[in-house]
Amino acid sequence: MNIAILVMAAGYSRRFRQSGRGNKLAAVMQGKPVLQHTLDNVRATGLDCYVVARPDDRQLHALMSEERIVRCSSEGLGESIAAGVNATADYGGWLITLADMPFIQPSSYRAISEALRDSRLVRAQVDGIQGHPVGFQQSFYSQLCALQGDKGARELLNADAVTFVDLTDRGCITDIDTIEDITRANQAEC
């Protein structure tokens, strides 16, 4: 089964922008932009990658030289997922991940990808906490393409039987939302 990773990067970074620091995905953390960390880990999986980004976000586009950009003027995560899935209709499944989750290790993406071969709907879980990536087989294509708003695929995850993959990778449940998150990550590197 051919599987693509869809990186959701079309958000507004509202909480981060309130700090006056611009787009969190372009913020430098441990020597490079947050999005670069995410893409480096995604690239290391060997799976095809598509990044859903706002059409006018050239600063982020510059970081995506190897990825295919799906341009989406999204008003929410649901619309971003729909755009990404619609643009990659030929795949047998998708791993949905968030661009602001730069610590997810390549082995976690691969584990979810492997589980997706046998289960229609797969989700990472760390110490009982549900996280990312989330995997969907092609049978969800129509439902994913119909998503709207900012709830993402939450309703699909609540309505269908999910296979949870227990992982130890805390990156699956750790995101970057504030300048304090970046400061903590930079201090952890020291």
Compute how many other C-beta atoms are within 10 angstroms of the C-beta atom of residue 72: 21
Q: What pLDDT sits at residue 163?
A: 93
CATH number of the domain that 164 lies in?
3.90.550.10
* pTM exceeds 0.95, yes or no: no
Q: What pLDDT sits at residue 189?
A: 61
45-49, 71-75, 139-143: least confidently modelled range: 71-75
Residues 6 or more apart whose Cβ sits within 8 Å of residue 167: 108, 111, 124, 125, 126
Condensed to tens digits (0 to 9), the pLDDT of residues 101-120 reads 999 999 999 999 999 999 99
Q: Which band of pLDDT confidence, cut at 50, 70 and 90, is reported for residue 177? A: confident
- Number of domains making up the chain: 1
Q: Tell me what the mean pLDDT of segment 87-93 comes to.
A: 96
Domain that holds residue 112: 3-189
Amino acid at 79: E
Condensed to tens digits (0 to 9), the pLDDT of residues 145-154 reads 999 887 778 7
Task: Give percent of the chain with pLDDT exceeding 90.
Answer: 61
Tokens of 93: 């499944």
